[in-house]
Structure 1
Amino acid sequence: MERRKTGLALMSAYVVMLGCVLTVFTAFSVNLLSLAVQPYWLTWLTIGLMMIALAWTGVIVWSFLLVRPPRSDTIGRFLTTTLTVALCALILAPTIYAARVAHLSRDVMNTLFPTISGSPILADDPWNGADRVNFLLLGADSAPGRPGVRTDSMTVASVDTDTGATTLFGLPRNLQRVPLPDGPARARFPWGFTGSGPDTPGLLNEVFQYAEDHPDMVPGVGRGKRGPILLKQTISDILDIPVPYYAMVDMKGFAEIIDAMGGVRVTIREPIVYGRHREGLIPAGTRKLTGEQALWYGRSRTDSDDYVRMGRQKCLLNAVAKQADPMTVLNSFERLAAATKRAISTDIPQDLLPAIVDLAHKVKGTRMRSLNFVPPLIDTADPDWHLIRREVEQALDDHPSARSTAAARTPVPSQDDPVHLDRICG
C-alpha cells in the first residue's frame, strides 16, 4: 500500500513537471526567445535546467530503489539498473547540452552587444515613442592590396514598431560626392566626400574606413566606432530619416556562418564566375553552395555590375534566413556561435534585444518592400539627393497610391507588387 502511494506521488510529480515544461515551451515560446537574448536570464535558465534535471534524476533513482528486484534476482537487478542508468543519462545529457548552448549564447550576447550604462530604453516603450525604427545593415568586404574594409552592401531596414511592416532602402556603394554631416566632416568636405587620392576616389563605401583612419572626422570617439557613427549620420542625412543602429557582417565571416550551416541552397539564374582569376564557374540552376561559393555569388561583378550584385546579395540573405531553421542552428550551434562572433559587429544595446525579438516576430507576418537607389532612378555620379528623400517619404507613406508610385520608379520590384523576392532570386 505504501509503495502504491509513493508510486502515485512520483507519477503525479512527473506529470506535473512534464506539463509545466510543455506549457512553457509552447504557450510562452515568444517570451522564451526574449529571455534567451538576455545574459542574466540565460544564467538563471542554466541553473533552472540543472535543478530540474537533478530533481527528475532523483525521481528515477527513488523509483528504482522502491521497485528494484530482490538481490536473488540477478538478471532482474541487472536489467532494472541498466534501465535506470539509461533513463538518467537520457535526462542529464540533453540538460548538459542545453546548459552548454545557454553558456555559448550568453558569451555571444556579451561579445556582440554592448551594455550601455544609464540606457534610456524603457521596458514599457523600448522605442521611446517612435513610430518606426531604422537599422543600417552593412556587408563589409576587404581585398589584398586594399587596406581596411569597404561597406559594399548598405541597406536601411525601416520597421514599423507597431505592425512590423518593413521597407528596405538599398544604397549603391558607388554614390559619389556624398554630403557629410555638419561638423568636422562637413568642414573637410564642404562639397561632398571626395576621398584622398587614387585609393579613395570618394565613393559612399569608403566613408566608414576613412573615418576610422582619420580620428579628427569624429572627434573624441575611439577606433572601431568612428566608422559606424559617421556612416550612420551620413546615410541618415541622405535618406532624411534617423538611423540609430547598425549591424555589419564581414563577408568572409559570413562564408564561415554558411559553412557552419552546412551550405545554403540558392537558385542561380546565370553562371557566376568563381575566383579572383576566373578559375571556376558556378553553373546556373538550383544548388547548395559552400561558404566560399556563396561569397563569390554575393560579391562577383564579372559579366555583371554593382546593381545585379546588390540583388544577388539580397537573395543570399533571404535564402540564409529561410534555411536557418531551429534544427540546423542547434546541430551546429557551437560553430555558428564562433563564426558569428568573428563576422558580426553592431551597436545595438543588450537592453533592446527583447524588444527586437518581439519586433522580428511582427516582421515575419508582413511583406517587405524594397527600394534601391540605382540607375535609372538615381545617377550615382551625380545623385539627386532631393529626389532620394522624396522617394523615401513616399515609400514610408501609408497611402497605397504613394507606395505604388515609389515602386514603379525603382528598377528592383517591390514585394508589394506581384513580383516577389523569390522570383527575383529565381
Structure 2
Amino acid sequence: MTVKERGFGLGASMALTLASSLLWGVAHLAVERRKTGLALMFGYVVMLGGILTVLTAFSTHLLSLAVQPRWLVGFTVAVVVIAIVWTGVVIWSFVLVRPPSSDRIGRFLTTALTLALCGLILTPTLYATRLAYLSRDVVNTLFPSATATAPIMAQDPWNGARRVNFLLLGGDAAPNRPGVRTDSMTVASVDTETGATTLFGLPRNLQRVQFPEGAARDQFPFGFTGSGPDTPGLLNEIFQYAEDHPETVPGVERRRRGPTLIKQTIGDILGIPVDYYALVDMKGFAEIIDAMGGVKVTIKEPIVYGRYREGLLPAGTRRLSGAEALWYGRSRTDSDDYVRMGRQKCLLNAVAKQADPMTVLNSFERLAAATKRAISTDLPQDLLPAVIDLSQRVKDAKIRSLSFVPPLINTVYPDWSFIRRKVAETLEARPAARTATSAERTPGTDDLDAPVNLDATCA
C-alpha cells in the first residue's frame, strides 16, 4: 500500500468507508485512484438510473413480471450480482482507507463497520432472492406451464374474445364424507376491454342438472341423480363424481375429470363458455387467513356454528382467525345455503381488500405454503401477465352480481332456458350510470342483486 493509503485515522477511515457504500469510488478518489474512482461512480450512477427507470417506466408491469418464472430467475441473478459487486466495492474501499496496523482499535472498529455495511447489503438481497424463489415455486406448482390447445397470442392474449369467464369454486371436504364438494360456485364474466365484471352464483343444491352432450348425458339423460344416499344428485357433487367415475369424461386423466365436467356443465347451465377454473379448499383458505394475521369482518347478527351448536360468532366488527372465518363462511345453523352464499361473498371481498402489499410481504412464506395447499387451477402460466393486467381494470370497474337462488329460480325443478336467457340479458345490458334508489329498483334489471339481496350481509 502507499503511504496515503495507510495514513487515514479512525474517523476519516470510517467516514470514507461509509461514503463509498453510498457512492462508489469515494475512497478511491481519496487515495488518488481517480480513473478507478470515476469508473466506479459512473457504474453506480448507471445502476441507479437503471433501477429507477425500471421502477418508474415499467411500474405497471412489475406485478406481471413477478408471475413469470423466467423473469424471476433474471431478477434473482441481477440482484445477486449487484449485491456481490456492491459488497466487493465496500471491502475494497475499506482496504484502501483502513487505519494503519499499529492502530488496533481503529482497525477493529472500521472492520466492524465494514462487516455491518456488508450485512446491510446482503440481508435484503437474501430476502429478495428468497421471495423470488418462493414466487417461482408457487407459479410452477399452481399453474400449468403451457397451453397446448390454445396458444397465447402476444398482442391479444384473449384471441379476440370480448369476455373471459372464470369459474371460482369453493371446495369443502369433511371427515364423514369422501372427496370434495364444491359448495361455492361462481362464474366471473369479465369484459376484456373495460374490466367490467358480472358474477353469476349457482347454489350447491341445484337438482336435476342437465349435462352437456357426451358420455355424462348418456349416463344421465334426464339430469344428474347421483348414485345413492351419499350422492342424492346435487350440483355440488358433480366435481367429485367425475373424479370417481372416469366413464363420465372419457380420455381425461385423474384430477382433471372433475374440473372438466364441472366447467362444461356450469357453462351449459349459464349458456356461456367457461374458460378457466380455480378451486379453493376451504380448510386451506383458513390457513391463508391465519397467514395474513386474520381478516376483519362486520357480523350483523350472531352466527351459530356446528352440528351440535359448538360455538358462536358474536355480532360486531371483529378480526376472525382462519378457523372462525371458515365457520363464518360455511355455517348454515339457524340459516340456509343462500345466506351462507352471501357471507362467502363478503368473506372473499374482505380478504381481497385486506391482503395489502405489506401484509403479503410480512407473511409471504406462510402465504405461499398455504396457497399451494389450498388452490388448484387450469389457468396457464403464459396467461398470468394478462390476468394481472385485467385484474387492475377490474378494480376500477363496476362489479355486478346475479345469484340464481329462490325465489328467482326453483332449485328442485330449475328452468334452464330462463337461466340462460337471464344471463344473456345481463351480459348484453350496460351497467347503470348511477345506482337506483330502493323505490326505483326493479328486480332482475340493472340492480342484479335485488331479487335475493345477498350482498346485504356485507357491511
Bin of the TM-score, shorter chain as denominator length = over 0.9
Deviation, structure 1 residue 401: 6.8
Instruction: Name the SS of the counterpart of 1:320 in structure 2.
Output: helix
1:364–1:404 Cα change, 3 Å: closer
How many pairs are equivalent? 423
Q: Is the 8 A contact 1:46 1:102 kept in 2?
A: yes
Deviation, structure 1 residue 8: 4.9
Comparing 70-79 and 328-337, the one that deviates more: 70-79
Q: Is the 8 A contact 2:300 2:457 kept in 1?
A: no
Q: Is the 8 A contact 1:53 1:95 kept in 2?
A: yes
For 1:362 and 1:249, the matched residues in 2 are separated by: 23
Alignment partner, residue 374 of structure 1: 405
Query: Structure 2 residue aligned with 1:13, among 17, 29, 43?
Result: 43
Structure 1 residues 360-388: Cα deviation after superposition (integer angstroms, max 9, x where no partner): 11111112111111111111111111111
The letter for the 2-side match of 1:72 is S
Alignment partner, residue 198 of structure 1: 229
Alignment partner, residue 133 of structure 1: 164
The letter for the 2-side match of 1:382 is Y
Q: Is the 8 A contact 1:266 1:319 kept in 2?
A: yes
Query: Structure 2 residue aligned with 1:56, among 75, 83, 86?
Result: 86
The letter for the 2-side match of 1:376 is P
Unpaired segments of 5 or more residues in structure 1?
none
**What are the within-5 Å matches in structure 2 for residues 291-310 of structure 1?**
291-310=322-341
The letter for the 2-side match of 1:425 is C
Alignment partner, residue 103 of structure 1: 133
Q: Does 1:170 find its partner at 2:201?
A: yes
Q: Is the 8 A contact 2:240 2:258 kept in 1?
A: yes
Query: Structure 2 residue aligned with 1:89, among 119, 127, 130?
Result: 119
For 1:274 and 1:229, the matched residues in 2 are separated by: 33
**What are the within-5 Å matches in structure 2 for residues 19-418 of structure 1?**
19-116=49-146, 118=148, 119-400=150-431, 408-409=442-443, 414=448
Deviation, structure 1 residue 425: 0.9
The letter for the 2-side match of 1:55 is V
Q: Is the 8 A contact 1:376 1:411 kept in 2?
A: no
For 2:272 and 2:66, the matched residues in 1 are separated by: 31
Q: Is the 8 A contact 1:377 1:409 kept in 2?
A: no
Deviation, structure 1 residue 31: 1.7
Q: Is the 8 A contact 2:398 2:431 kept in 1?
A: no
The letter for the 1-side match of 2:425 is Q
For 2:140 and 2:90, the matched residues in 1 are separated by: 37
Q: Is the 8 A contact 1:274 1:293 kept in 2?
A: no
Q: TM-score, normalised by structure 2?
A: 0.87
For 1:174 and 1:412, the matched residues in 2 are separated by: 26
Instruction: Name the SS of the counterpart of 2:201 in structure 1.
Output: strand
Structure 1 residues 205-227: Cα deviation after superposition (integer angstroms, max 9, x where no partner): 11111111111000011111111
For 1:385 and 1:249, the matched residues in 2 are separated by: 27
Q: Is the 8 A contact 1:263 1:291 kept in 2?
A: yes
Instruction: Name the SS of the counterpart of 1:185 in structure 2.
Output: helix
Deviation, structure 1 residue 281: 0.7
Instruction: Name the SS of the counterpart of 1:202 in structure 2.
Output: coil
The letter for the 2-side match of 1:176 is Q
Deviation, structure 1 residue 16: 3.4
Instruction: Name the SS of the counterpart of 1:395 in structure 2.
Output: helix
Structure 1 residues 291-335: Cα deviation after superposition (integer angstroms, max 9, x where no partner): 000000000001111111001001101111111111111111111
- Percent identity, aligned pairs only, is 73
For 1:215 and 1:404, the matched residues in 2 are separated by: 48
Instruction: Name the SS of the counterpart of 1:40 in structure 2.
Output: helix
For 1:199 and 1:404, the matched residues in 2 are separated by: 44
The letter for the 1-side match of 2:69 is P
Name the larger-Rg structure. Answer: 2
Instruction: Give 4+ residue runs of structure 1 displaced > 4 Å after superposition.
Output: 3-9, 400-405, 410-416
Instruction: Name the SS of the counterpart of 2:428 in structure 1.
Output: coil
Comparing 369-378 and 22-31, the one that deviates more: 22-31
For 1:18 and 1:66, the matched residues in 2 are separated by: 24
Q: Is the 8 A contact 2:341 2:454 kept in 1?
A: no
Unpaired segments of 5 or more residues in structure 2?
1-28
Comparing 224-233 and 2-11, the one that deviates more: 2-11
> How large is the Cα RMSD of the aligned pairs?
2.5
Q: TM-score, normalised by structure 1?
A: 0.93
Q: Is the 8 A contact 2:306 2:333 kept in 1?
A: no
For 2:189 and 2:442, the matched residues in 1 are separated by: 19
Comparing 306-315 and 272-281, the one that deviates more: 272-281
The letter for the 2-side match of 1:105 is S
